Amino acid sequence: MTSVLRAVALCTTAATLASAATHYEYKTVDVDYNFDENEDSPRSVIMMIPDGTGPNIFTLARTVLDPSLETRLHIDPHLMGTIQTHSSTSYITDSAAAATAYSTGYKTYDSAIAVDTYEQPLGTVLEAAKARGMVTGMIVTCRVTHATPASFASHVIDRDSEDEIAAQYVANKNLDFLLGGGKKHFNESMLEDLKSNGYTVATNYQELLDYQSANADTGALRLFGLFKDSHMSYEVDRLRDLEGNNSTAREPSLPEMVDLVLGLLRKNEQAKKHGYFIMIEGSRVDHAGHSNDPGTMAKEAIAFDESVAVVLDHVEQTPNTAMLSAADHGTGGLTLGRSGMEYPYPWYPTQLQLQNMSTEAMQERLDEILASDECAIGANDTCKTVLLETSKTMLASYTNVTSVTDDDVAKLVTDIATAVDETRDLYFVLIELGHIISAPAWIGWTTVGHVGTDVNLYCKGPLVFERMCKGVHENVYLNKLMTTFLGLEHHQELETMKRPMANLTRVLAFCAAAASLVSAATHYEYKTVDVDYNFDENEDSPRSVIMMIPDGTGPNIFTLARTVLDPSLETRLHIDPHLMGTVQTHSSTSYITDSASSATAYSTGYKTYDSAIGVDTYEQPLGTVLEAAKARGMVTGMIVTCRVTHATPASFASHVIDRDSEDEIAAQYVANKKLDFLLGGGKKHFNESMLEDLKSNGYTLPSNYQELLDYQSANADTGALRLFGLFHEDHMSYEVDRLRDLEGNNSTARQPSLSEMVDIILSLLRTNEQAKKHGYFIMIEGSRVDHAGHSNDPGTMAKEAIAFDESVAVVLDHVEQTPNTAMLSAADHGTGGLTLGRGPAYPYAWYPTELQLQNMSTEAMQEQLDVVLEGNDCATGANDTCKAALLTSSKNLLANYTNVTTVSDEEVVELVSQIATAVDETRDLNDVMIELGHVISLRAAIDWTTIGHVGTDVNLYCKGPLIFERMCKGVHENTYLNKIMTMYLGLEHQQELETMKHRNISVLEDPLAF
């Protein structure tokens, strides 16, 4: 045996042993494992990839589809987790590396097509399925040789080698069917090869229908459909071309292609015997994101969802078939909401319903003009005028834009001039057209490239499959999920071994890389056991709920926090394993909620207007889950890092028509005494008589951590809870500032952290007799993630989210110790429109280590600058001296407390402008604070679209008995979280009674009482 063969044999053995050692990680306890499967049917998988579709794009699609929000996407109920997307070379992947992770189970470099980091080929799940006799195929809307499909059925070191990818498809014949665009990469001899080997080559929908008709009885699949030379048309353009034209001699839609193939599969004897593996890609969501084209992106996502509906119907009909769906990455950094603090926060989906031409199609029309005589050499001014007027006409005719602003015209004129005079390329005109369309919808973008967000994972199939989906996973895990379900793990390894290695060194390198990547891929797998409804509850213990709200924390902030916590990405957040769904956040008055209406939805189960605290749209009080719990004899309390009278906590224990009525909120807390404990900031809203009232009613009022520890020590045996802790006059300090103040100072006469407050309360609860008898309801808020988002302060936002996660760890440990206690967690909204990645650079990148270096919030920087503004340097008449002092202080603060060692000329200009406005006009340095956040963000390649809220769905995490957890899967309205809590605690009617009490309605006056 040669050395190479020995190495291959050794690697094979090692892989087999590693596989045997780790495969059980992908299974759950084997009790009646396959009870919902059909033993007579083989297992099959349909993988669906909506390319470039970050979580916010599903919100976009759902809202554009039906602005009333009464309609859900077909995919929504099947949301079960998220996927972390980075490649081996960047925190922001490209499609090639992402698809290779899905197809092979290995991380690789950007641009790699099913090869490892040493450029050696890797077997794919599709190739393994084919080797096992399964039917295999792909349906896409891009070129079939593009990165995603290529990564399942070819092997090249650079994704641009599309002719070679086409040649491999034809030579290998691993595909029973392949439908999409990209005909230009298949020459005549390739097409003849396919035909001579029994393939039909369809070029339009009619030919596809003819094939279906001819094979309706047998379900035979030997089919290449190449419907366009390049990518297939955007759905918005395909539908416009169909208006008044019912011809089938056209491109098929994605749902049409999927429906036709699945119809044949149900008759196909090979599929019935051996099963099938299919990859379906909604490819062009990504392309619309690269173009910053919002209406087109929404409608591509909707078309993808229509194909999901077809697949779900097929899964329902076909035993043992599983569907899983995850994007490869996000694209464009789109946010629903943009700009400043306009209130209520706006975005307008109906504006995008009016768009019926893509900006790509607009560019194609402009390209015709650029190539015409009107734009011949010497006719530049005429050419520019025609291009500008045509751009305006197309916007007016095919979009929501009826008039173009002077600023928009100026940008178009600049981009057109560059194209005509220099580049002869209208790409930047296309981007500007997208931005013009986005503006009336109040949509923002941060990049024309990819972004580093986690992406949603959806699963539908037998429980043995679905139970592998819950939580946060690496993208490589999806390959393990598929190969384990299909029993293809060893087949895929064999497919890798079939492919020749270049030399012994590379073989050994491959083995080393494989071992590390298998380890990485199997590190964190989170399972549930799904048997009897209440088998994991203790009949002798009451049910309790801990609700945790990370205010302002959109899905991307968890990615930010995880990566800043550990840039090696070997560490997970404590909350990650418990991701089970998402929550839709709009209020009754806006698609983008504020914290008051959102918290009222959680606390009462009713949508209301922005600013409302525990009242309905008619300004009438509503009973809350906390009040219902207290009425039932449960222990109740709240722990927050904002003022305790701020919108979120106020909505659980008070009722006012405007969130700014914080003195009244404090007065209600004191008068009603429905809280056994309340910890946070906001002491300034409690006057002396209120504090005396609390003391006279048995409350202890600690003002620092030491006093909280003293209370804990004094009540350790009984767990007594009668406690108001007010640790700051205003909001409590940011964690980054609290930790900096602690350096070299071990004093406990300070503010406690969120996790310290939570730990003390939970330890007391475990010995509290009332809690043991009646249970408890607690609301915990990581309040200041939101505030850092409003400030566009990235390092502070990351560290607030990490601090929230540390408190989650304390709660999870408590839940493990305490029977029948459930934790659920969801943010109220997103804030800031932060995206991980900015600009067009490739490979796409962002730099978390830059944020690890920040140890002062921009809020604390502003406080120091305020001292300068109030000092002698800024006395009346000393404006120039003042401005210079503020600029110097700003630079010094950045240099001493952040990643920023030098400030660019452009940044100095912006700081000078903001400082001048503050000194000469407003005497308010808030905009300087915002600019400091932007200076910090630029080094990390992070961007923001607003200092307000955004309309994204937020993650839902659940941990507790299965009767509780099983209510969490999927996409829900924020009001549904109240139903989860009240149903689990049996408080539905009690909460209604609390509403009646507030409205002075007796039970006898309620006709429903009879």
Residues with catalytic roles: 595
Q: Are 372 and 92 in contact (CB under 8 A)?
A: no
- On the 0-12 / 13-18 / 19+ scale of CB atoms within 10 A, 134 is buried
First CA to last CA distance, the chain:
88
**Calculated CA dihedral for residues 521, 494, 50, 967, nearest 10 degrees:** -50
What DSSP element (H or E) covers 521?
A: helix 504-522
* Residue 829 is labelled as binding a ligand: yes
* Residue 972 is labelled as binding a ligand: no
Residue 360: CB partners within 8 Å, gap ≥ 6? Answer: 234, 237, 287, 291, 293, 296, 430
SS3 100: helix
Write down the number of H helices and E strands in the chain.
42, 27
Sign of CA dihedral 682, 684, 689, 692: positive
By C-alpha distance, which of 313, 330, 331, 333 is closest to 321? Answer: 313
Exposure class string for 351-369: b at 16+ Cβ within 10 A, else e:
bbbebbbbbbbbbebbbeb
Place of tokens 């600009």: 839
Backbone angles phi, psi at 545, to 5 degrees: -135, 135
Other residues' Cβ atoms within 10 Å of the Cβ of residue 611: 22
Q: Are 211 and 219 in contact (CB under 8 A)?
A: no
Cα angle for residues 556, 560, 561 (degrees, 5° grid): 120
* Residue 241 is labelled as binding a ligand: no
Amino acid identity at 641: T
* Residue 790 is labelled as binding a ligand: yes
Residue 482: CB partners within 8 Å, gap ≥ 6? Answer: 45, 47, 125, 277, 324, 488
* Residue 648 is labelled as binding a ligand: yes
Place of tokens 């009240």: 982
Pairing of strands 455-460, 79-84: antiparallel
What DSSP element (H or E) covers 392?
A: helix 380-398
Q: Are 961 and 822 in contact (CB under 8 A)?
A: yes
Q: Report the distance separating Cα 560 and Cα 285, nearest Å.
A: 24
Q: Are 166 and 185 in contact (CB under 8 A)?
A: yes
Other residues' Cβ atoms within 10 Å of the Cβ of residue 729: 11
Cis link prior to 555 (omega < 30° from 0)?
A: no
What is residue 502's DSSP assignment? Answer: S
* Residue 828 is labelled as binding a ligand: yes
Annotated binding residues, written as ranges, equal 551, 646, 648, 781, 786, 790, 828-829, 949
Annotated binding residues for Mg(2+), written as ranges, equal 551, 646, 648, 781
Annotated binding residues for Zn(2+), written as ranges, equal 551, 786, 790, 828-829, 949
